Structure 1
Amino acid sequence: MANDNEYWKTPLTPGQKKELDLDLIEEIDRKTGDDDHRNSDYQDTVTQMREFRQMMLRMIGFLTVLAFIFLALNNWTRLVNMPSLDFLMKSLEITQDPAIRELQHGVAAVSAGGQRGTGFNIHPDGMIITNYHIVRETPDVFVTFSDGPPYRGKEIFRYPESDLAVVKLEGSDLPVLTLEKRPETQPGDEVVIIGNPLGFPQVASTGEIIGKTRIRGWDNPVLMIRGPVHKGNSGSPVFNSEGKVIAVIFATLSQERLSREERNQDPIGLAVPVESILDYTEAKVDEDTSPEN
């Protein structure tokens, strides 16, 4: 190899230069240089593609991590927003009172076309007070007390103007609750609510009347009650200190209408006063009311 290198370093004589086609040699050198340049460009392209692929893999990994973080935060938010279940422990405490346990017997679970809520009985043969929005979708309404078989609604009377409904049953000697015919409620009054919140049956809780409010399109104001009122409490009776029904839960106040401080407290339930119930039941749902079967 050393002799070869020396050979190529040997200068040409004038005669050798004449015999060689120097133009051809330069052309060959030029083409060879172009090939080297193209090979260099190819290598650069491959390197760029590899770098781009690595960058895309890193980006996909980053987006995947972000997606997992988002899902984790979303699930955490749901957990944070779940209502506290402390009211179940409170219910166990409240129901140590025999009078409260007696009231529970007159409270029933109401199901209608996939809707579930609460109702209560005011007649031995079965006259259930519940909410219109629970029974409006179907004529098939089923009522279940804490013990005994489920009853199918025989007649259903609907009063959408106050979100109330009366469901008549074919029963006998059913437990009965008493309506307060002359209610006198004041802000600060403590009340008891019995219902089926979040699917838990016969839950008793305490609340406090904080005032009244009006709903657009309704003739009469409704009660505002601060307490553990949740989905499933619709149709729950509200009792005064004497164990008589003074109102029926039908909704909770929208969180948008509450201050930040209020949102950290128990929800504010809305309840139809007993006066509206008396308008429909004092005449035992007379013949002037047309039932829907």
Structure 2
Amino acid sequence: MNDDELMDEEPGDELGDEMLNNKKPGYFRKLVTLLVLLAFIAISVPNFPFLFSDTLNFLEQNRALKEDEIVQRCKPAVVSIEATVANGLFNTEVKRGTGFNISPTGTIITNQHIVVNASTITIRFGDGTVYYSKKYEVIPDVDIAIIQIEGSALPTIALNTKDRVQTGDTVTIIGNPLGYEKISQRGEVGQFYSVKNSLNQIFDINIPINPGNSGSPVLDNQSKVIGVIFASTSVEINGKSEPRALAIPVQVLP
């Protein structure tokens, strides 16, 4: 007799009651195991209670920005990146992130930490076009990599190397967090920070980012790139810790 048949037994059926009573300990054991597992996850992952709410938040903002002019103009040039790294003979690692194209023939800007030591780099545009590359250069002391591909008439985003980003500027990022593609988020530029062994400053944005956002372009109100996301941090605001994205100004690009 299966579980559906048990549920169909009338409450007064003695055989059904007996079988239900015999199964209760098993159900209780499963329930206890589930509760213990959830408790373990909650303890092991401090942000577990907020994980899904954060995800819903960035998806909700992405929906709100779906028809935004800046997003529509820049999204085609944002790419997903997969870097395959060989760690030994039978062990490979795939690192995923975001990049953006600045040349019709294919010049992709992303983070160095995504592609370093990669044997193959896969670049995927939104229309499904895929390119493979092993050629990239890095900027010393900056988490930036420049990948060259051989394309034609590719969508591009322009760089704004003339105007430096300022505290309070409203900016937009487009990236690939947590396996989602081309998610748009908007926020304000906050503080600037000096970096050890570098003359360049980085800045934060009051946008929570997730794995996969590395390499996302930071866009100004002219639909031009003014920075590149590379990490996250948190700042104290009125006694509360708030997540922030960290970005590198585009002035570091050659």
Q: Given the alignment, which residue of 38, 42, 47 partners 1:76?
A: 42
User: Is the contact made by 2:205 and 2:244 (CA closer than 8 Å) also made in structure 1?
Assistant: yes
Query: How far apart are 1:134 and its partner, in Å?
Result: 0.3
Q: 1:209 is matched with which residue? A: 189
Tell me: CA distance 1:262–1:106, structure 2 relative to 1, closer, same or farther (3 Å). Answer: farther
Q: Are residue 100 (structure 1) and residue 71 (structure 2) matched?
A: yes
d(CA) in 1 for partners of 2:240 and 2:220?
24
d(CA) in 2 for partners of 1:262 and 1:109?
33
Gaps of 5+ in 1: 1-64, 280-293
Q: 1:60 is matched with which residue? A: none
- The secondary structure found in structure 2 opposite 1:162 is coil
User: Is the contact made by 1:136 and 1:158 (CA closer than 8 Å) also made in structure 2?
Assistant: no
| Number of matched pairs | 211
- The secondary structure found in structure 1 opposite 2:141 is helix
- The secondary structure found in structure 2 opposite 1:80 is helix
TM-score (norm 1): 0.66
- Overall identity of the aligned pairs, in %: 34
User: Is the contact made by 2:203 and 2:247 (CA closer than 8 Å) also made in structure 1?
Assistant: yes
The amino acid that maps onto 1:276 is V
- The secondary structure found in structure 2 opposite 1:123 is coil
Q: Are residue 268 (structure 1) and residue 244 (structure 2) matched?
A: yes
Query: How far apart are 1:248 and its partner, in Å?
Result: 0.1
- What are the superposed Cα offsets for residues 65-90 of structure 1, whole Å, 9 maximum, x if unpaired? 99876533222354314261211111
Larger CA Rg, structure 1 vs 2: 1
Superposition CA RMSD, Å: 2.3
Q: Are residue 231 (structure 1) and residue 211 (structure 2) matched?
A: yes
d(CA) in 2 for partners of 1:68 and 1:154?
46
Q: Are residue 87 (structure 1) and residue 58 (structure 2) matched?
A: yes
d(CA) in 2 for partners of 1:220 and 1:174?
30
Tell me: CA distance 1:198–1:68, structure 2 relative to 1, closer, same or farther (3 Å). Answer: closer
Tell me: CA distance 1:150–1:248, structure 2 relative to 1, closer, same or farther (3 Å). Answer: same
Q: 2:7 is matched with which residue? A: none
Q: 1:140 is matched with which residue? A: 120
d(CA) in 2 for partners of 1:188 and 1:90?
19
Q: 1:37 is matched with which residue? A: none
Query: Is 204-213 or 182-191 further displaced after alignment?
Result: 182-191
User: Is the contact made by 2:70 and 2:221 (CA closer than 8 Å) also made in structure 1?
Assistant: no
Gaps of 5+ in 2: 1-30, 85-93
